[in-house]
Amino acid sequence: MALLRTLPLAAVIGLALAAPAAAADQTVDVVDFEFNPPTVQIDPGDTVTWTFTGPTDHTATSSRSERFVRFDSDLKGPGQTYQRTFDEPGRFNYICTPHPFMRGVVQVGADTVSRTLSSRGVRGGRRSVKYSVRVLEDAVYTWKLRGPARRTVKGTLRTGNRSISVRRLPPGRYRGVFTAVDAFDKKLTTRQSFSVRG
Ligand SMILES: [Cu+2]
């Protein structure tokens, strides 16, 4: 309390606002035509309950671009509910399928990892290339290769030391652009340059 007593009132209010709201199970009202509140913050393991108060039928459905966590309440009418427990941290966007202008976000936990992954080197081989990364947070990636051939590979990376190999490449000089996006929509891009032997 000694610290608080010496602070001006505005500073005390600022501290109170900056403190994260105690996350817990949350409820979202689905009304015509919005999710209320549009964004909920929960901790991993907490449950969100959508309460459909219509009178129009709606859904709570993960956005098509959402690749980490998918869910779909199916059409629900007045008085119905849908529940989902979120274990994986991340920022998950959802919509109502018949009314895609209705948008909501479930934020689970906080993005505590500042750098999603670090590059451990690219190595061109015989008609192939291997890109090694150390992954600190699950991510989806796209790797675009440009040179004597054009290739784009996509996939998911889980935490740990990982490598991505592309085979059957014509020999020559290539450039690569690697993009990783974590569950909080944080994007990281690295560029490579390498030679492929025949
Ligand atoms: Cu709707």
Q: How far is the CA of 97 from the centre of ligand 1 (A)?
A: 7
Q: How far apart are CA 12 and CA 128, in angstroms?
A: 59
- Could you read off the pLDDT of 92-126 as tens digits, one per residue? 999 999 999 999 999 999 999 999 999 999 999 99
Q: How far is the CA of 74 from the centre of ligand 1 (A)?
A: 11
The radius of gyration computed from the CA coordinates of the chain, to the nearest angstrom, equals 23
Q: How far is the CA of 107 from the centre of ligand 1 (A)?
A: 21
Q: How far is the CA of 154 from the centre of ligand 1 (A)?
A: 32
Report the share of the chain in percent with pLDDT over 70: 88
Q: How far is the CA of 33 from the centre of ligand 1 (A)?
A: 6
Q: What three-state secondary structure class fits 87?
A: coil
- Could you read off the pLDDT of 134-191 as tens digits, one per residue? 999 999 999 999 999 999 999 999 999 999 999 999 999 999 999 999 999 999 999 9
- Bridge-based pairing of strands 61-62 and 103-108 is unpaired
Q: How far is the CA of 156 from the centre of ligand 1 (A)?
A: 31
**The model's pTM:** 0.76
pLDDT, residue 149, reads 96
Q: How far is the CA of 21 from the centre of ligand 1 (A)?
A: 28
Q: How far is the CA of 103 from the centre of ligand 1 (A)?
A: 9
Decide if 128 contacts 165 (C-beta within 8 A).
yes
Going by pLDDT thresholds of 50, 70 and 90, the confidence category of residue 43 is very high
Q: What three-state secondary structure class fits 5?
A: helix
Q: How far is the CA of 62 from the centre of ligand 1 (A)?
A: 13
Q: How far is the CA of 34 from the centre of ligand 1 (A)?
A: 7
Distance of CA 25 to CAs 22, 35, 41, 69, 76, Å? 10, 16, 9, 18, 21
